[in-house]
Amino acid sequence: MKVTIIKDKSEKNSNLISAILQLILGIILVFNAGSIITILFTILGIIVIVVGIAKFIQYFNIKSQLKIENPQILYSAIMYTATGLLVIFLSNFIDNAIRIVTGIWLFFIGLNKLGNAIAWKAKNHKHFLKELTISIIFIILGLYSIFAENAVLIFIGVLLILYSLIQLVNYFLNKN
């Protein structure tokens, strides 16, 4: 008995489209990561402002229709709107803060692993070299994240580009 596997052409086409979109996103992340962060924080700020405006509308509807003042809704509307504006105007500061905190966190993980590696070296443990290598990688990543802007996004962009290129090569090799 012979079994024939029939592949769905729409699935192959969606894989091609997915690979192309990932390639485009990867290129954007590698060459323009800074503006991506600004755009994301601007979108987030706009969403929070819209929620604040909706709260203002809710407050004034309740006040006019039910003749009841609810200061909690008014306070939340003011807070949402102010938070949205802060997120938009301080997007570079927030980006830098996240980058520096992430870098410091990675650096301290590396130092912790380096301490483990030194302790294992004293005991001639078999995992010494692995732990030492991982600790050095974490320390380098932490320092790089602190001093290089958008290092994580650029790294993700490079991974997306590599993955999409592998998908494209597989697509064209298996096109038949």
Tokens of 12: 């192959």
pLDDT at 16: 85
The alpha helices in the chain, defined as continuous H runs, are: 9-66, 71-89, 91-122, 128-147, 151-173
**pTM as predicted:** 0.61
Helical pair 9-66 and 151-173, crossing angle rounded to 10 deg: 140
Instruction: For the chain, list residues with pLDDT below 70.
Output: 1, 3-12, 176
pLDDT at 12: 67
pLDDT at 9: 60
**pLDDT tens track for 120-139:** 888 887 888 989 999 999 99
pLDDT at 15: 81
